[in-house]
Amino acid sequence: MKEYESLSHVRWECKYHIVWVPKYRRKTLYGQVRRRFGEITRDLCRQKGIELVEGHAMPDHVHLCLSIPPKYSISYVVGYLKRKSAIRLHQDFSNKMRGSKSFWARGYFVNTVGLDENQVRQYIRHQESTENRQMEFDFENK
């Protein structure tokens, strides 16, 4: 039998595939900023008891697979991660970031992960190579 997580009055398994982008879809997540974003995300998830199942930051968007306890709404978690990561990135890289602390664009994509968890994790893990193949295909067709 599958092992589920548990809280005081509930047994649960709530996994979500989440994607969001930097403001104006700028290609800002690379090098030190990308590494620091990973550290920040792991730390924020740990603080809230959220399991970061899989994650990958591309230069212009972020893919996460999170296991979120049912005591938190998905909008609360995404807002928390975007808000806190933007503040910390701005503190660490204020010399590289222009303007205000609004780093992320409004909105996000979310999809529940059910029985196809392995497919979603594999998709996130190989996102970069998939995107590169699509770009090569697009250039060949033009």
Query: What residues are annotated to the active site?
Result: 123
DSSP 15-43: EEEEEE-BGGG-----HHHHHHHHHHHHH
Residue of 19, 23, 15 whose CA lies nearest to 81: 19
Contact yes or no for 15/112 (Cβ under 8 A): yes
Task: Note whether 16 and 110 are within 8 A (CB).
Answer: yes
Paired tokens of 28: 């800002």
Residue 131, number of CB atoms within 10 A of its CB: 14
What number of other Cβ atoms are within 10 A of residue 73's Cβ?
Answer: 10
